[in-house]
Amino acid sequence: MKHRTFFWFFLPTGLAMLLFIALPIVSVVTQSLFTPHEAVLVKVETCTPFSCTEETTIDQNATAAIRQDEPLGRFVGLDIYLDRGHLAIAEVAEAWNTRASFGDFLSKLNNLPFYRAIAFTVAFTFIVTPLVILMGLAIALAVNTVHARLKGVVIFFSLLPFVITPLIGALVLFWMIDSRGIIGNLLQWMAGDPSLSLKASTGLMWISLMIYGVWHAAPFAFVIFYAGLQTLPMDQIEAAQIDGASRMQRLRYVIVPHLMPLVTFVALIQLMDNFRVFEPIVGFNASAHATSLSWAIFNDLGGETQQLSSAAATSVITIIGVAILLSPVLVRTWRDYKGKV
Amino acid sequence: MTTRANKLPVGLRIASTIFVIAWLLMAAFPFIWTFWGSFKVELDFFSITDWTNAITGTRTQQTHGSPFTGAGYHGAWVEEGFMRNVINTFIVCFFVVCTSLTFGTLGGYALSRSGFRYTFWLLIAALIFRAMPPITLVAGYMLPFFEWNLWGILPTTIIVLVAINQPFTLWMLHSFFQNIPKELDESAKVDGCTQFQAFRHVIIPVMWPGVITTGLFSFLLAYNDFAVTSMLLSEDNRTMVPQIAAFLGTTYTEGNIMFAVAAVVSATAPLFVLVMFFQRQIVSGLTAGAVKG
């Protein structure tokens, strides 16, 4: 295909991505270096026949004018990245210098909103992803043994948690684990503690969020592994069987290696998706116990005063996090590509 | 496969059947439960005294004279005007799917037919864009959209969702087009077609399975989005998902929470129908991406 033809074919999609993905990234980076103008203060001297008093007031017109002229605000460099709401360099240094122990330092770190968000985001990403893969593999292996007629029904119901709107899925589960809901009741009965509430405990909340994560994504892994199981090399399995490999050994040495490329694929997609964990925190109303980077951005943008600069700084840090997460894949793809050319 | 399955020891067979049933319960029960509960009053669905009330509807019987009530639905659809949000959702979804597919088929086709080095870089850029959480971009939209008075209206949200959708659409259609033999449009070009004519008359007629599958995923993305729609739409233009979040924001007064439950069930129904009719396409779409890796 000629360059010219390619250009015209690619123009609409390229333009859409340029205008609404690439430029906003630039805009986010710029925004994160600016902060809104402070109010313009004027000193007014009011004199009475007896004395003069000087008052400082906000010049509303001048403030509005400067905010109108330069909507970006004033340039502050990396200040926003380093302030208490983000990397909190000063607070971290202080916590480190005054630490009683390493654990004490960590608990102080955990009081800073940004580190709390990072802790949950990273924990969620790296706990849920392997669990999704294991759960998906287990379901795929089990479904593979059920009667062929049932498979359609099984796949239909399995797809539901995956296609459901994340916020709605989270709400549906949240209403069930509510202390007045059915699972909440069951847990109270099992623990023998009628005051047990998942909403009151950070640990239980984290576990619930992660269970939601596995519930939501396991069908995706299942469908992909199940498709992979349909292309199993039967001759290899029979050969392994003749050589006396047990069921476990066949799974370990024939089936799993066959599925390995799919595992990599699922892991990649899941790392990307779990890193943006957001809806379940809103749905579970869990922000007192767990926050994520995406939630922090959302929280800054919503609310009474929109803190655009703060949201932008968190966004940039999140994008850097995604880049770190993705870098092994990119390097590998690049090597494969160079190998092919 | 059947030969091996037949040889499964009984114990393992039972264990795996139980596991499948347990998984099905996990997957389906929350939806059935919520559907059932949406016809109850709050004191039944969130029962303090006895959880079986949610099944039998004791309090609902006392309040409304029957174990089922449509009060939640009445509240959501009539009192809160949920219909408007439903219409908004379908407007957004319709235009997002159409525009995404138009842009995506052109771009994906070009990527699959051009052998130059930049196609690789474009696909990698798309992969990176796909990896970025959409909410990180929202901070970048806010200021320009406010400045140019574009904030809060449906067309802005539609085009933003289309753009966010493009990386995924491109990857998917790219892999579908690669499976369509190049000889097909090459021969059309030999017969004197331009590239676009070849695309129009030869490729479009055979590309529908891939386009339908990709369209389904575009629809799901637009339908399920919360981050973008809740930030970029004004209160009057809200789609279903941000509206449900807004129901929750209002205090948990009696009755109000049941509006949210009814709205949630209403918003789930289209997805249920979608899976019922397009199960095969969804499965093939998921696996098509995986096979390409």
Q: What percent of chain A has pLDDT over 90?
A: 38
Length of chain B: 293
| Nearest chain A residue (CA) to B147 | A71
* pLDDT of residue B73 exceeding 70: yes
- Which chain A residues are Cβ-neighbours of B219 within 8 angstroms? none
CB contact under 8 A, B51 and A215: no
Alpha helices in chain A (DSSP H): 3-17, 23-31, 60-69, 79-82, 89-97, 102-109, 113-145, 148-163, 166-177, 182-191, 202-229, 234-242, 247-250, 256-275, 279-283, 293-301, 308-340
Model pLDDT for residues A17-31, shown as the tens digit of each residue: 999 999 999 999 998
Question: From the CA atom positions of chain B, what is the Rg in Å?
Answer: 24
| Nearest chain A residue (CA) to B43 | A180
Contact between A212 and A286 under an 8 Å Cβ cutoff? The reply is no
Question: From the CA atom positions of chain A, what is the Rg in Å?
Answer: 27
CB contact under 8 A, A319 and B164: no
- More reliable by pLDDT, B157 or A53: B157
* pLDDT of residue A46 exceeding 80: no
Nearest CB among B26, B46, B196 relative to A215 is that of B26
| Nearest chain A residue (CA) to B25 | A157
The alpha carbon dihedral of A285, A286, A287, A292 has a sign of: negative
CB contact under 8 A, A21 and B102: no
Q: What average pLDDT score do residues B179-196 get? A: 87
Give chain B's end-to-end CA distance (angstroms, integer).
Answer: 25
Q: Which A residues in the span 122-141 are in contact with B, Cβ-Cβ below 8 Å?
A: 138-139, 141
Taking the CA of residue B21 and the nearest CA in chain A, the distance in Å comes to: 9
A277 at interface of B, judged by CB pairs closer than 8 A: no
Model pLDDT for residues B259-279, shown as the tens digit of each residue: 889 999 999 999 999 999 998
Q: Which helix (H) or strand (E) holds A74?
A: strand A74-75
| Nearest chain A residue (CA) to B120 | A337
Nearest CB among A145, A176, A341 relative to B5 is that of A145
Taking the CA of residue A201 and the nearest CA in chain B, the distance in Å comes to: 20
Nearest CB among B26, B48, B275 relative to A159 is that of B275
CB contact under 8 A, A21 and B163: yes
Rounded Cα distance between B7 and B3, Å, is 7
| pLDDT tier, A247 (very low <50, low <70, confident <90, very high otherwise) | confident
- Which chain B residues are Cβ-neighbours of A297 within 8 angstroms? 135-136, 138-139
Highest mean pLDDT among A1-10, A206-215, A225-234, A286-295: A206-215
Q: Which two tokens stand for residue B286?
A: 């998921």
Nearest CB among A21, A275, A306 relative to B137 is that of A21
3-state secondary structure B215-283: HHHHHHHHHHCCHHHHHHECHHHCCHHHHHHHHHHCCCCCCHHHHHHHHHHHHHHHHHHHHHHHHHHHH
The alpha carbon dihedral of A211, B27, A325, A118 has a sign of: negative
Q: What is the pLDDT of residue A331?
A: 87
The alpha carbon dihedral of B85, B86, B87, B93 has a sign of: positive
DSSP letter for B152, please.
B
- More reliable by pLDDT, A33 or B57: A33
Q: Which two tokens stand for residue A310?
A: 């703060």
Interface test with A, best of B16, B95, B99, B143 (most A CBs within 10 A): B143
| Nearest chain B residue (CA) to A14 | B107
A231 at interface of B, judged by CB pairs closer than 8 A: no
CB contact under 8 A, B140 and A138: no
- Which chain A residues are Cβ-neighbours of B104 within 8 angstroms? 13
- What would the DSSP string read from start to end of A97-133? HT-SSHHHHHHHHTTSHHHHHHHHHHHHHHHHHHHHH
- Total CB pairs under 8 A between chain A and B: 287
CB contact under 8 A, A326 and B126: no
Q: Which A residues in the span 244-273 are in contact with B, Cβ-Cβ below 8 Å?
A: 247, 261-262, 264-266, 272
Interface test with B, best of A134, A167, A183 (most B CBs within 10 A): A167
Nearest CB among B30, B47, B142 relative to A172 is that of B30
- What would the DSSP string read from start to end of A31-65? HTTEEPPPPPEEEEEEE-SS-EEEEEEE-HHHHHH
| pLDDT tier, B209 (very low <50, low <70, confident <90, very high otherwise) | confident
Q: Which two tokens stand for residue A186?
A: 């069951």
Q: What average pLDDT score do residues B240-252 get? A: 81
- Which chain B residues are Cβ-neighbours of A276 within 8 angstroms? 133-135
CA-based nearest residue to B21, from A145, A259, A183, A224: A145
| pLDDT tier, A293 (very low <50, low <70, confident <90, very high otherwise) | very high
| Nearest chain B residue (CA) to A211 | B26
Give the three-state DSSP class for A25: helix
Give the three-state DSSP class for B22: helix
CB contact under 8 A, A165 and B226: yes
Model pLDDT for residues B15-59, shown as the tens digit of each residue: 888 999 999 999 999 999 999 989 988 888 887 777 777 788 888
ipTM of the complex: 0.90
CA-based nearest residue to B30, from A194, A192, A287, A211: A211
Q: What is the pLDDT of residue B3?
A: 52
